[in-house]
């Protein structure tokens, strides 16, 4: 009975977010802004409609992970190898420069601040490692909602998949060094990195088998059925692995992305479109749930208590993302619109950053509690403030690049 009531409240929350998105869309802003604001207002720190008991319940964790996997279909089906091979080097170089550029700028700025304020300088590198992460869902929801298409959009979609992989490598390298020097916790970075990349391996393996099966299907119904069965099998494999871990580490969005990318490159375009057409409403629904899960835990009160570290962190990260993507585009002779506007679409941050923050706090809690407190307060406040600003700036980036409404031959 209790679970049924929680499901009902979740359904009400989704309906509220949906209409909030529609209202915001009438103001010519991305629907996700409405979802984010609605999530914070109905979350545990405000109206408590979508409360902690729901967000922390095992059934919601399973459902949300499945929706992440479904949302990953949107990214993976755009990763057609023959299409991205032409720009593969450019995308990889730009991903590395924007990630390392962000790490360098944030670490340098906080390193100078901490140097003069007698705070351990190593904390600056932890901030830099956390800052790398980009949340793909907000920007990709703008792509979907505003029907964007063009060089910036086609660069962002594969970068969304690559960015968090680069971020994971850098962050866990930093945490390994910090942990080895100051923490009593024994963290095996190799094991953690294995589990970071494991969803990609699972997705590719199951996706390859799915592709072979889809090559033999005769109609859209059987094609869709095979894809859904194998998608659930892929996610189920992830659930089984997560159940035996002390801390669930598998990224289901990456799993869905790898799964769909594998089979999308093995079947004709017409068959792929036949799969995705009925899935598009499901993906839209999944995206609302993912964003609600992202927004509900954010405490809007932190906006009023944010300090100078939060302001510096948001500004330094924005400079790093923009300058890093600008340099990568210049070096690889990318289109002018990518050079000038891609950086704005990389500003969304919550999600992976909050996971990284939790890990960093757990590493520092015993050995350097004052440093753990600085990280937790700064990133939590930044997650609230940055996300609203970042979604607006992502939309402006696509607008300035002239890509709004270009998907499917539409015009703004």
| Tokens matching residue 354 | 């909050």
The better pLDDT of the pair 87, 339 is held by 339
The better pLDDT of the pair 191, 271 is held by 271
Pairwise CA distance, residues 34 & 208, whole Å: 37
* pLDDT category of residue 379 using cuts at 50, 70 and 90: confident
Q: Which of 281, 215, 282, 255 is nearest to 75 (CA)?
A: 255
Per-residue model confidence (pLDDT) at position 350:
63
Could you say which DSSP state residue 409 is in? Answer: G
Residue 112 scores a pLDDT above 60: yes
The CB density around residue 61, as the number of other CB atoms within 10 Å, is 15
Q: Is the distance from CB of 175 to CB of 189 less than 8 angstroms? A: yes
Looking at residues 182-209, what average pLDDT do you find?
Answer: 75
- Residues above pLDDT 70, as percent of the chain: 85
* pLDDT category of residue 312 using cuts at 50, 70 and 90: very high
Residue 410 scores a pLDDT above 50: no
Give the fold, CATH level 3, of 2-409.
Na+/H+ antiporter like fold (1.20.1530)
Q: Is the distance from CB of 280 to CB of 5 less than 8 angstroms? A: no
- Residues above pLDDT 90, as percent of the chain: 28
Residues in the chain: 412
Pairwise CA distance, residues 411 & 158, whole Å: 24
End-to-end CA distance of the chain: give it in Å, rounded: 48
Q: Is the distance from CB of 210 to CB of 226 less than 8 angstroms? A: yes
Pairwise CA distance, residues 405 & 412, whole Å: 5
Per-residue pLDDT tens digits for 228-244: 999 999 999 999 988 88
Q: Is the distance from CB of 167 to CB of 99 less than 8 angstroms? A: yes
Q: Is the distance from CB of 127 to CB of 195 less than 8 angstroms? A: no
Residue 411 scores a pLDDT above 50: no
Residues near 209 by beta carbon (within 8 Å), at least 6 away in sequence? 230
Pairwise CA distance, residues 220 & 267, whole Å: 13
Per-residue model confidence (pLDDT) at position 412:
36
Residue 409 scores a pLDDT above 60: no
What is each CA distance from 295 to 78, 300, 351, in whole angstroms? 26, 10, 9
Looking at residues 310-326, what average pLDDT do you find?
Answer: 93
Per-residue model confidence (pLDDT) at position 326:
95
Per-residue model confidence (pLDDT) at position 392:
84
């Amino acid at each position: 009975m209790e679970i049924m009531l929680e499901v009902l409240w979740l359904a009400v929350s989704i309906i509220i977010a949906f209409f909030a998105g529609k209202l915001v869309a009438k103001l010519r802003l991305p629907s996700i802004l409405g979802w984010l604001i609605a999530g914070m207002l109905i979350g545990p720190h405000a109206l408590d409609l979508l409360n902690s008991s729901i967000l922390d319940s095992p059934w919601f964790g399973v459902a949300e992970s499945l929706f992440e996997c479904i949302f990953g279909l949107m990214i993976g089906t755009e990763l057609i190898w023959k299409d991205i091979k032409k720009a593969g080097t450019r995308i990889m170089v730009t991903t590395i420069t924007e990630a390392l550029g962000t790490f360098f700028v944030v670490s340098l700025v906080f390193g100078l601040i901490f140097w003069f304020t007698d705070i351990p300088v190593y904390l600056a590198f932890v901030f830099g490692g956390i800052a790398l992460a980009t949340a793909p869902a907000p920007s990709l929801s703008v792509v979907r909602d505003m029907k964007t298409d063009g060089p910036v959009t086609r660069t962002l979609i594969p970068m969304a998949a690559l960015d968090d992989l680069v971020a994971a490598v850098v962050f866990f390298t930093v945490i390994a060094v910090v942990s080895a020097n100051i923490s009593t916790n024994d963290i095996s970075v190799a094991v953690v990195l294995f589990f970071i990349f494991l969803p990609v391996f699972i997705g590719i393996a199951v996706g390859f088998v799915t592709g072979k099966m889809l090559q033999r299907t005769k109609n859209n119904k059987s094609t869709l059925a095979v894809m859904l069965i194998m998608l659930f099998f892929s996610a189920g494999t992830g659930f089984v692995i997560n159940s035996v871990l002390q801390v669930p580490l598998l990224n289901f969005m990456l799993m869905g992305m790898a799964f769909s990318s594998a089979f999308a490159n093995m079947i004709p375009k017409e068959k792929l479109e036949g799969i995705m057409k009925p899935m598009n409403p499901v993906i839209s629904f999944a995206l609302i749930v993912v964003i609600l899960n992202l927004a509900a835990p954010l405490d809007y009160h932190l906006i009023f208590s944010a300090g100078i570290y939060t302001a510096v962190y948001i500004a330094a990260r924005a400079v790093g993302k923009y300058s890093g993507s600008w340099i990568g585009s210049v070096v690889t002779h990318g289109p002018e619109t990518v050079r000038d506007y891609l950086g704005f679409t990389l500003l969304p941050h919550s999600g992976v950053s909050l996971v990284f923050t939790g890990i960093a706090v757990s590493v520092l809690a015993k050995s350097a509690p004052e440093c753990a407190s600085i990280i937790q307060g700064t990133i939590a406040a930044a997650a609230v403030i940055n996300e609203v600003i970042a979604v607006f700036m992502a939309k402006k980036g696509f607008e300035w690049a002239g890509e709004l409404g270009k998907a499917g031959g539409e015009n703004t």
